[in-house]
Amino acid sequence: MYGSDVHVACIMDGNGRWARKRGLPRTAGHTAGEENLAAVVRIAVRSGVDHLTVFGFSTENWVRPRQEVRHILGLHKKLFGRIAELNELGVRVRWIGRPFDDPTARTPRYVQRAIIKAIRDTANNSGMTLTVAFDYGSRAEIAHAAETLRRAGTMIDAESLGSAMYMPDLPPVDVLVRTSGETRVSNFLLWQSAGAPISFSTSAWPDFSEDDLKDAIALARTIPH
């Protein structure tokens, strides 16, 4: 075990470039990315990671071509459908994103149903927690938190804002990973990653490996708590 108690958050980028390099459609890159996520979950469990949080689809990603968006939605249904596998690994699934009843939320019903079922059917697992960010954006989350407090007449400060986030019990991020050579945070967990080091990996997400994860965990270890 080299990763116990660590919260690793990944911005899974580079699926499109991975596919283009192989002369494949972007959708094939997303399919490979979902398959690699299943592999990375297994590796993270073996490495003793406590929380793995992944950016699956952002509030900004809806402007992508319809066919690509439809493919990514189908892959999330598949991901949340991996219940037997997750139960075997003792992984508890959670989801973070614009609440389904929020007027701006865009998660379609069939994905909502898959999310709700995965959360329910893995709720008793006590191993790693896998949180999937879908229809997620940090600015939307922080604005939603502020609005919730305003409506309740609660004073807005760092503590009350933190407790009004979508998932207030999500622990602080210990290391933020960005794949595919990009050096942007792209509106992911801005509040929760305030003090986190960032591990930049040149691997495209479908190639993100055990060594890449080890590098990230090692970086998390360099920050005193």
Distance, CA of 102 to CA of 136 (rounded, Å): 12
Q: Binding to Mg ion by residue 13, rule CB under 5 A?
A: yes
For residue 74, the minimal CB distance to ligand IPE (Å) is 12
Name the closest residue to ligand IPE (Cβ). Answer: 16
Catalytic residue among 5, 15, 50, 61: 61
Q: Binding segment for Mg ion among 5-13, 90-98, 113-121, 214-222 (CB under 5 A)?
A: 5-13
Using rule CB under 6 A, residue 11 touches ligand IPE: yes
> Is residue 15 annotated as a catalytic residue, yes or no?
no
Which is the catalytic residue, given 13, 135, 174, 212?
Answer: 13
Tell me how many helices (H) and strands (E) the chain has. Answer: 8, 6
As a whole number of angstroms, the distance between CA 177 and CA 44 comes to 13
* DSSP 8-class letter at 122: H
Q: Which listed residue (21, 67, 184, 194) binds ligand IPE by CB under 6 A?
A: 184
Per the CB < 8 A criterion, the answer to whether 89 and 41 are in contact is yes
Round to whole Å and give the CA distance between 108 and 84: 24
The verdict on whether 61 is a catalytic residue reads: yes
Contact track, ligand IPE, 35-74, x by CB under 6 A: --------------------xxxx--x----------x--
DSSP string computed for 57-104: EETTGGGS-HHHHHHHHHHHHHHHT-HHHHHHHTPEEEEESS-TTSTT
Q: Which residues bind ligand IPE (CB under 6 A)?
A: 11-17, 55-58, 61, 72, 180, 182, 184, 186
The residues binding Mg ion (CB under 5 A) are: 13
